[in-house]
A and B are shown apart, each in its own frame.
Chain A
Amino acid sequence: MRGRLTFTAGCVLVAAVLLVAAVSLVWLPYDPSDTTGGRLAPPGGEHLLGTDKLGRDLLTQLMVGARIALTVGIGSVLVGGLIGVTAGLLAGFATRWLDDVLSAALDIVIAFPTLLLAMLVVAAREASLGSAVLAIGLAMSGVVARLTRVLVKQVLTQDYITASRTSGTSWPRVVAEHVLPNIAPTLLVNLALQLGLAVLAEAALSYLGLGPPPPNASWGRLLQEAQATVLTAPTGAIAPGVLLVVLVVGVNLVADGLRDLADPTRRRSR
Chain B
Amino acid sequence: MARYLLRRTAFLLGSLLAAAGLLFVLLRLLPGDPANALLSVGATPEQIAAARHQIGSDLPLPEQFWSWLAGLARLDLGTSFVSRLPVGPEIAARLVVTVPLTLLAFTLAVVVAVPVGFVAAWRSDRWYGLLLNGVSQLGIAVPVFWIGMLLVTVFALRLRVLPAGGFPRDDWADPARALTSLALPVVTIALVMSASLVRYVRSATLDVLGSDYLRTARALGSSFAGAMWRHGLRNAAVPVISILGIELATTFLGAVVVESVFTLPGLGTMLVEGIAEHDYPVIQGVLVVSTFAVLVIGFGADLAQRLVDPRLRAHVGGGRP
A contacts, CB < 8 Å to B: 100, 103-105, 107-108, 111-116, 119-120, 122-125, 196, 200, 203-204, 207-210, 220, 223-224, 227, 230-231, 234, 237, 241, 244-245, 248-249, 252-253, 269
Q: Contacts of A230 on B, CB cut-off 8 Å? A: 149, 152-153, 157
**Other-chain residue from B141, B157, B252 in contact with A196 (beta carbon distance below 8 A):** B141
Q: Contacts of A207 on B, CB cut-off 8 Å? A: 143, 145, 257, 260
> Is there a chain A Cβ closer than 8 Å to B26's Cβ?
yes
Please, how many residues of chain B have a CB less than 8 angstroms from a CB on the other chain?
51
A252 and B257 CA atoms in complex are apart in Å by 22
| CB contact under 8 A between A248 and B141, given known A113-B290, A123-B30, A231-B157 | yes
**Other-chain residue from A113, A220, A223 in contact with B249 (beta carbon distance below 8 A):** A113
Q: Contacts of B144 on A, CB cut-off 8 Å? A: 204
| Nearest chain A residue, comparing its CB with the CB of B145 | A207
Q: Contacts of B73 on A, CB cut-off 8 Å? A: none
A210 and B278 CA atoms in complex are apart in Å by 13
Instruction: Tell me how far the C-beta of B292 lies from the nearest C-beta in chain A, rounded to whole angstroms.
Output: 9
Check B140 against A252 for contact (C-beta < 8 Å): yes
Check B320 against A122 for contact (C-beta < 8 Å): no
Q: Contacts of B252 on A, CB cut-off 8 Å? A: 113
Q: Contacts of B22 on A, CB cut-off 8 Å? A: 108, 112
Check B11 against A104 for contact (C-beta < 8 Å): yes
- The 30 sampled A-B contact pairs (Cβ below 8 Å) are A100-B320, A103-B320, A104-B11, A104-B14, A104-B15, A108-B22, A111-B15, A111-B294, A112-B294, A115-B256, A115-B257, A116-B256, A116-B287, A116-B290, A119-B275, A122-B275, A123-B278, A123-B283, A124-B30, A200-B143, A207-B257, A207-B260, A209-B272, A209-B276, A237-B150, A237-B153, A241-B146, A241-B150, A245-B138, A249-B138
Check A124 against B260 for contact (C-beta < 8 Å): no
| Nearest chain A residue, comparing its CB with the CB of B274 | A123
Check B290 against A123 for contact (C-beta < 8 Å): no
**Other-chain residue from A108, A120, A204, A231 in contact with B143 (beta carbon distance below 8 A):** A204
Instruction: Tell me how far the C-beta of B209 lies from the nearest C-beta in chain A, rounded to whole angstroms.
Output: 10
> Is there a chain A Cβ closer than 8 Å to B18's Cβ?
yes
| CB contact under 8 A between A244 and B29, given known A112-B19, A113-B252 | no
> Is there a chain A Cβ closer than 8 Å to B242's Cβ?
no
Q: Contacts of B287 on A, CB cut-off 8 Å? A: 116, 120
Q: Contacts of A208 on B, CB cut-off 8 Å? A: 257, 260, 272
| CB contact under 8 A between A111 and B298, given known A103-B320, A104-B11 | yes
Instruction: Tell me how far the C-beta of A92 lies from the nearest C-beta in chain B, rounded to whole angstroms.
Output: 14
A259 and B259 CA atoms in complex are apart in Å by 36
| CB contact under 8 A between A123 and B256, given known A196-B141, A204-B145 | no
- With A104-B18, A111-B294 given, name 8 new contacts (CB 8 A): A115-B257, A119-B272, A124-B31, A125-B31, A220-B145, A241-B142, A244-B141, A248-B140
> Is there a chain A Cβ closer than 8 Å to B250's Cβ?
yes
Instruction: Tell me how far the C-beta of A235 lies from the nearest C-beta in chain B, rounded to whole angstroms.
Output: 13
Q: Contacts of B210 on A, CB cut-off 8 Å? A: 269
| Nearest chain A residue, comparing its CB with the CB of B27 | A124
Check A112 against B291 for contact (C-beta < 8 Å): yes
**Other-chain residue from B145, B271, B291 in contact with A223 (beta carbon distance below 8 A):** B145
Q: Contacts of A203 on B, CB cut-off 8 Å? A: 143, 145
**Other-chain residue from A108, A196, A200 in contact with B15 (beta carbon distance below 8 A):** A108
A117 and B11 CA atoms in complex are apart in Å by 21
| CB contact under 8 A between A231 and B291, given known A113-B250, A113-B253 | no
Check B153 against A231 for contact (C-beta < 8 Å): yes
Instruction: Tell me how far the C-beta of B57 lies from the nearest C-beta in chain A, rounded to whole angstroms.
Output: 16
A234 and B158 CA atoms in complex are apart in Å by 12
Q: Contacts of B145 on A, CB cut-off 8 Å? A: 203-204, 207, 220, 223-224
Instruction: Tell me how far the C-beta of A210 lies from the nearest C-beta in chain B, rounded to whole angstroms.
Output: 7
> Is there a chain A Cβ closer than 8 Å to B137's Cβ?
yes
> Is there a chain A Cβ closer than 8 Å to B227's Cβ?
no
A110 and B31 CA atoms in complex are apart in Å by 25
Check B275 against A210 for contact (C-beta < 8 Å): yes
> Is there a chain A Cβ closer than 8 Å to B206's Cβ?
yes
Instruction: Tell me how far the C-beta of A165 lies from the nearest C-beta in chain B, rounded to whole angstroms.
Output: 25
A237 and B143 CA atoms in complex are apart in Å by 13
A3 and B213 CA atoms in complex are apart in Å by 28
A162 and B10 CA atoms in complex are apart in Å by 36
Check A223 against B15 for contact (C-beta < 8 Å): no
> Is there a chain A Cβ closer than 8 Å to B295's Cβ?
yes
| CB contact under 8 A between A124 and B143, given known A108-B19, A111-B295, A208-B257 | no
Check B249 against A249 for contact (C-beta < 8 Å): no
**Other-chain residue from B141, B206, B294 in contact with A269 (beta carbon distance below 8 A):** B206
Check A111 against B291 for contact (C-beta < 8 Å): yes
Instruction: Tell me how far the C-beta of A110 lies from the nearest C-beta in chain B, rounded to whole angstroms.
Output: 9
